[in-house]
Amino acid sequence: MALTLFELAGDQGRRFSPFSWRTLMALRHKGLDAERVAVKFTNKDVIAFSGQDRVPVLGDGDTTVSDSWAIADYLEQTHPQTPSLFSGTVGRGGAKFINAWTDLQLHPRISRLIVRDVYDSVHPDDKAHFKETREARYGASFDSLHETRDQHLGAMREVLAPVRVALEDQPFLCGESAAYADYIVFGAFQWARCASPYALLEGHDPVHAWRERMLDVFGGFARAAPGYPV
């Protein structure tokens, strides 16, 4: 049965949702193809069938799965013959921690740095909605967030300390090869790379080298996505 992935779409073909990138990388890890369907912020009727209004949404015949973590679990359960995303229950438990850490610690720090650039990258139909909701969330204008972002860059880099420690003696967070924990963290940086020219990482940072390796897995699939060379 053919798979269909509904994912957030920006302007000029940009697909910058960090959660969709987790799923896109998981699909390639599993060797699975999915038809990709663009969903705008203001056109969530496209995914009304899923009973909620967030992407990504995976369609698999009569089965619908929403939320990137639930999708990863679903792919692991329904395609056990393909490479594992977690390598067992212990690996799944570790990846779930990384999932929570990324959502609660890394995403908010990156979002503050790139939100004005994301606004520039969203579909024209979505700009008014995005500006109203995100400025309300931060209690500040995009211009003020943009002007002060250098002051908050250090805090984002500092929160990556555990990632650097994990990469001291292995090329990927999951060891010698990438797996779902890598895709979770990578999704955050691919979000930024697809939407913003702002350099989040210094060239000598081990996280930068890891991100470059992640861009090259699966034949450079992520590197080929429309984005910025940062």
Instruction: Say which CATH number the domain at 10 has.
Output: 3.40.30.10
Task: Judge if 67 and 149 occupy the same domain.
Answer: no
Task: Judge if 49 and 142 occupy the same domain.
Answer: no
Distance separating alpha carbons of residues 205 and 208, to the nearest angstrom:
5
CA dist 3 to 18, 27, 124, 162, 172, Å?
Answer: 20, 10, 29, 35, 28
- Residue where one domain finishes, among candidates 46, 78, 110: 78
Strand ranges inside the chain, DSSP E: 3-8, 34-39, 57-60, 63-66
The answer as to whether 50 is a domain residue is: yes
The answer as to whether 83 is a domain residue is: no
**Residue 109: count of CB within 10 angstroms of its CB:** 19
CA dist 118 to 122, 146, 163, 179, Å?
Answer: 6, 11, 25, 27
Average pLDDT over residues 66-93: 98
The answer as to whether 131 is a domain residue is: yes
The more confidently predicted of residues 1 and 17 is 17
Residue 33, φ and ψ in degrees, nearest 5: -105, 150
**Per-chain mean pLDDT for the chain:** 97
Buried-state track 130-159, b at ≥16 Cβ within 10 A, e below 16:
bbeebbeeeeeebeebbeebeeebeebbee
Digit-coded pLDDT (tens) for 160-211: 999 999 999 999 999 999 999 999 999 999 999 999 999 999 999 999 999 9
Instruction: Report the pLDDT value the prediction gives residue 1, as an integer from 0 to 100.
Output: 61
SS3 58: strand
Digit-coded pLDDT (tens) for 122-132: 999 999 999 99
Range of the domain at 45: 3-78
Digit-coded pLDDT (tens) for 7-17: 998 998 899 99
Digit-coded pLDDT (tens) for 23-66: 999 999 999 999 999 999 999 999 999 999 999 999 999 999 99
Contact 34, 83 (CB under 8 A): no
SS3 29: helix
Average pLDDT over residues 81-107: 98
Task: Judge if 40 and 141 occupy the same domain.
Answer: no
Task: Judge if 148 and 67 occupy the same domain.
Answer: no
Instruction: Report the pLDDT value the prediction gives residue 12, as an integer from 0 to 100.
Output: 86
The domain total for the chain is: 2
Tell me the percentage of the chain whose pLDDT exceeds 70. 100
**Residue 33: count of CB within 10 angstroms of its CB:** 11
